[in-house]
Amino acid sequence: MLRSLIGALALAMALADGASAQEPLKIGLIQSLTGPFNTVGKAVVDGAQLYVKQHGDVVAGRRIELVVRDDATAPDRAKRIAQELIVNDKVAIIGAGITPSALTIAPLVTEAKIATVVMVSGASITVDRSPYMVRTSFTLGQSSAVMADWLARNGGRKIVTLVNDWAPGIESETVFKDRIATSDAKIVDSLRMPLANPDFAPFLQRARDAKPDAVFIFVPSGQGGTFVKQFIERGLDKAGIKIIGPGDVTDDDLLNGMGDQVIGTVTAHMYSAAHPSKMNKDYVAAFMKANNFRPNFMLVGGYDGMHLIYEALKKTNGDTDGDKLMAAMKGMKWESPRGPISIDADTRDIVQNIYIRKVEKVDGKLYNQEFATFEAVKDPVKAAKK
Ligand code: PHB
């Protein structure tokens, strides 16, 4: 009698445990949580965690566990972490971060056949490096091409380009220059700055001396506040020079601290916290309830990265085989807080709307207000290679 009672009890407990009795399905996030790109990695992890909180941690009968690791903004460290995650932690899926880190882990995920969602890197080349990589962030080419096309339609200008010297910066400059070449706009100078701890002053001085109408600027997420401050301190705004470029510079989490001098700044980007959809309003409200800052464009890469992983796992019935997951991810389409997005089945790269936005004050706060949409933009660098 007692024995059968214990047996029944054990059975009931096992059933109640359900999915969690199985080994958890581990997703390794290799992100920059310290070092120069620390705000980027934290945003991506915040985005991924928000998604799990809203959608639950069980998918296709498997319990999801996020294994978050800090690459300290150092690619060699990212490589070591990837090895540990694959060999020791036996992660089923990886969420990759900034370009240098994503590039160093590409050969490892290829060898191990691990589906890897690139949640930050904006260099076109990244997803070319491994057939097991797919992107939910953006490419610099997408926003830079659209910025050029918009300028071409809105009258010629004298422009200085100013980017940081690394793959995303060079792609941004190259795509912008190529696209603007057929318009009335003229590039009067092209400057490249170091990526780490840049002193913008000498570059801003040189840009000012060229007397342009606008400076096309790409600085990575996290540097926009300092850049704009120095731009204003050096009097470029008073000289009538406009800031244009990818929206990384008027990053949502920093924008409100930049001052009213940025009002009117026009940029091209894939995400604004002011995107007027119901889905985005709910998403921003949910995030701001738990955090006292605005979700920026990096956060949505982590959020959508998790969506892609969840939906792919549903399709494979929880099978984490890299080839099956990649097949499930290719061609996936969904509505993101940024608007409609999809994964190009040929390139594994993201296809998304790029919006032209202008900084405006709404209810006493600065926002990137979208006013024109370029729909379903593909990465122009890959398109040109075809
Ligand atoms: C990148 O790692 O490619 C990256 C990081 C920050 C940005 C844009 C691109 O703002």
Encoded tokens for 44? 């991506």
Q: Give me the amino acid identity at 134.
A: V
Q: Measure the CA–CA gap between 224 and 330, rounded to whole angstroms.
A: 34
Q: Is 143 in the pocket of ligand 1 (CB under 6 A)?
A: no
Q: Measure the CA–CA gap between 234 and 202, rounded to whole angstroms.
A: 10
Q: In the prediction, which pLDDT does 327 show?
A: 98
Q: Is 219 in the pocket of ligand 1 (CB under 6 A)?
A: no
C-alpha closest to that of 42 among 16, 68, 63, 66: 68
Q: Is 247 in the pocket of ligand 1 (CB under 6 A)?
A: no
Distance 328 CA to ligand 1 centre (A): 26
C-alpha closest to that of 339 among 257, 292, 289, 278: 278
C-alpha closest to that of 344 among 325, 321, 326: 326
- pLDDT per residue rounded down to tens, the chain (386 residues): 455 555 555 555 544 445 445 789 999 999 999 999 999 999 999 999 999 999 999 999 999 999 999 999 999 999 999 999 999 999 999 999 999 999 999 999 999 999 999 999 999 999 999 999 999 999 999 999 999 999 998 876 899 999 999 999 999 999 999 999 989 999 999 999 999 878 999 999 999 999 999 999 999 999 999 999 999 999 999 999 999 999 999 999 999 999 999 999 999 999 999 999 999 999 999 999 989 889 999 999 999 999 999 999 999 999 999 999 999 999 999 999 999 999 999 999 999 999 999 999 999 999 999 999 999 999 999 988 88
Chain center to CA of 227:
20
Distance 222 CA to ligand 1 centre (A): 10
Q: What region does 19 belong to: left with phi over 0, alpha with psi -120 to 50, or beta?
A: alpha
Encoded tokens for 259? 């001052």
Cβ neighbours for 69, distance < 8 A, ≥ 6 positions apart: 28, 29, 30, 31, 81, 84, 85
Q: Computed over its alpha carbons, how large is the radius of gyration of the chain? A: 22
Residue nearest to atom 7 of ligand 1 (CA): 220
pTM: 0.94
Q: Which atom of ligand 1 is nearest to the CA of 100?
A: 2
Give the CA diameter of the chain. 93
Cβ neighbours for 263, distance < 8 A, ≥ 6 positions apart: 359, 360, 361, 366
Q: Which atom of ligand 1 is nearest to the CA of 251?
A: 10
Q: Is 122 in the pocket of ligand 1 (CB under 6 A)?
A: yes
Q: Is 97 in the pocket of ligand 1 (CB under 6 A)?
A: no
Q: Is 70 in the pocket of ligand 1 (CB under 6 A)?
A: no
Q: Which atom of ligand 1 is nearest to the CA of 167?
A: 3
Answer whether 342's CB lies under 8 Å from 322's CB: no
Q: Which atom of ligand 1 is nearest to the CA of 222?
A: 10
- SS3 category, 288: helix
Backbone angles phi, psi at 14, to 5 degrees: -65, -40
Q: Is 43 in the pocket of ligand 1 (CB under 6 A)?
A: no
Q: Which position has the token pair 């910025």?
A: 147
Q: Is 267 in the pocket of ligand 1 (CB under 6 A)?
A: no
Q: Which atom of ligand 1 is nearest to the CA of 218?
A: 10
Q: Is 245 in the pocket of ligand 1 (CB under 6 A)?
A: no
- Residue 23 CB-density burial (10 A; 0-12 exposed, 13-18 middle, 19+ buried): exposed
Q: Is 149 in the pocket of ligand 1 (CB under 6 A)?
A: no
Q: Is 99 in the pocket of ligand 1 (CB under 6 A)?
A: yes
Q: Is the dihedral of CA 175, 178, 180, 185 positive or negative?
A: positive
Neighbours of 6 (CB within 10 A): 10
Neighbours of 200 (CB within 10 A): 21
Answer whether 175's CB lies under 8 Å from 144's CB: yes
C-alpha closest to that of 108 among 93, 125, 130: 130
Chain center to CA of 92:
22
DSSP state of 280: H
Distance 29 CA to ligand 1 centre (A): 16
Q: Measure the CA–CA gap between 259 and 264, rounded to whole angstroms.
A: 12
Q: In the prediction, which pLDDT does 16 show?
A: 47
Q: Is 337 in the pocket of ligand 1 (CB under 6 A)?
A: no
Q: Measure the CA–CA gap between 37 and 3, rounded to whole angstroms.
A: 59
Residue nearest to atom 8 of ligand 1 (CA): 220
Q: In the prediction, which pLDDT does 15 show?
A: 47
CA-CA-CA-CA torsion for 17, 21, 27, 31, nearest 10 degrees? 70
